[in-house]
Chains A and B, each alone.
Chain A
């Protein structure tokens, strides 16, 4: 290696003073090319789950194409000390300098434990709530305001429903999930105020049998448009399509699974967050500890409309979308009541997406049938 350097330098010297500026530039490029940054991605489920993990894996595949980067990946890693070993293995065996542990449960205690032992390695966790002073500087969290895309799902769903009954199949009543259910319902109610959303919680992130049962049971009750917040929406999309109902996707595009039932969907666009964090690592800038963004920032996107979505629905959703992109639209604003009649956001109060109160949401709004 050093021999190669010296000959290149000799060659540069022979080119002369005219090349001096060029020399420094090409030298630093050479260093980058010599030592690629190794980035590790860890998924809790399979990379092709048509959902949460696929959304990450698709963006990781884009990262692979960037020059000067080496990507190592591991799927189906449980949130036990197995993930600690995977992280440590990526660091000691593969020389990774930046890790993306993508499952929520990896954050505490697993990522924090490994980060403490490896202060020179950067950790970018998806979904966690990184807190200044509480968590180490070499760790951080990124997430997207996907409730914006769920609001747009709601607008389209409201145009398509005949029964005015929407269905939402969710894993657990935790803040991130409740926020999506509420945003979806608010989007639908903005079109037809008397619409309702029936929610079923399956209890865990990947429960294919319960998800199918929940879809069928809601379909029996007259629900004709579905959406969801589970790790792999495949079963719900397919079951709803089989029952002749419409569906709005989540995490990644499930359009391929049910082209005649898939209206649109709320998708992650993780490459935006990944690029920000990777560029900081490459240029030696401080690790971005708290990265958040919505439609405006390109953190989330919507699936292309299905052919059955009428012009009016597209126009209505597109209008809201462009307001969101322009930063002129707020989803959660007063007066807002929960479904027990209690006022949860007082009149006149407007929450920006970045407001931390929204990250601890613990209610379902009026119009949602279900219990948080």
Chain B
């Protein structure tokens, strides 16, 4: 069986979402036509706005960068079997912690200072999401509800500090913390002799998604985490430390979102203020679900999301379509991508009967490890 599926699985994993996207574009064309614009124009603009030239690519990637990190806040707890949707709270607390650190340590300078601020931001986010995990494991509180509500508390705390004790007196009509020093800020990534608008947060996001995927797929603790997510009772039975693993997954996920908040402060806003509460944490939920909580799938999905944002911007300006029209396209895309999951294992099987002779079993690192590993981990 694994041999027969070995080539079909990756093909399906790419073909299903691509077909779903094509279907969404088709449906969007019909929608645009009803709205009185030309579907051909709309498709051309979508492509041009998202991936048409260097400017569009920068636009797309810049929007994608924070989404990769906030998606991790959903994906990692999901691997442990928890549905956490509190990335927004972790993000704003990360941003707050990052912007507050110079108040406590006024001498922060340069790269080392920036790294320290990002670590503090990640820690703040980690604590917040781990709290939701702890409440679920030790107090039986539903983690979806608690993480959502903790998000509101985080935003309230954020506003209290930004508009109260940490407010820069010079920020009259837009209450903000004091701007961070120039040397602490994160700049653009150089490309071909020029500095692009895309900041280093993109690299951090991609690297962390890759690392998270490696952790889940190639390490004992990552595998143990997936066992907990698959069947928590079986995991307990084989002696896995479920509480520790769940808290770790939540903390690492929260650290991602907290880091996103810190990067937003250092690379974009230069201080913490209410503009940070822009729903990046909530968009991360969608990204993670569309990526099926697989960290390796998060960067491309985040780029797709960034592309929708970038293309929507151009679509509004050129065709005078309302902003909501891009939401319609996103809606089509995600419903179809998620619905296409039903076709998994059927798309190719229906057309090509199982080959009689299975291809020689390759040493495939992606193939699910045999069950013996579980007991090995337990030992």
Spell out A's residues near B (CB within 8 Å). Answer: 40, 46-47, 72-82, 84-86, 88-90, 92-94, 104-105, 107-109, 127, 129, 172, 174-176, 203-204, 359-360
Contacts and interface: CB of A to CB of B under 8 A. Distances in A.
Per CB-CB distance, the 5 closest pairs between chain A and chain B, nearest first, are A79-B275, A76-B323, A78-B278, A72-B317, A105-B275
B268 interface: yes
Contact of A174 (B173, B269, B314): B173
Given A75-B323, A92-B55, A85 B313 contact: yes
Contacts of B310: 85, 89
A109 B269 contact: yes
B242 interface: no
A105 B273 contact: yes
26 contacts: A72-B317, A73-B316, A74-B317, A75-B322, A75-B323, A77-B313, A78-B278, A78-B279, A80-B264, A80-B268, A80-B269, A81-B197, A82-B278, A85-B58, A85-B59, A85-B313, A86-B313, A88-B197, A89-B55, A93-B55, A93-B317, A94-B317, A108-B174, A172-B163, A204-B159, A360-B172
B62 interface: yes
B17 to A, nearest CB: 25
Nearest to B277: A204
B314 A89 contact: yes
Interface in B21-67: 49, 55, 58-59, 62-63
Contacts, number: 93
A216 to B, nearest CB: 21
Interface residues on B, range: 20 to 34
Contacts of A104: 173-174
B254 interface: no
A73 B320 contact: yes
B229 interface: no
A287 B229 CA distance: 61
A205 B279 CA distance: 15
B218 to A, nearest CB: 34
Contacts of B320: 73
B205 interface: no
Contacts of B270: 109
B177 to A, nearest CB: 13
Given A105-B275, A176-B173, A84 B323 contact: no
Contacts of B197: 81, 84-85, 88
A86 B273 CA distance: 20
A79 B278 contact: yes
Contacts of B59: 85, 88-89
A77 B313 CA distance: 9
Nearest to A129: B172
Contacts of A74: 313, 316-317, 323
Nearest to B309: A82
Name the residue among B276, B278, B313 with the largest chain A CB count within 10 angstroms.
Answer: B313
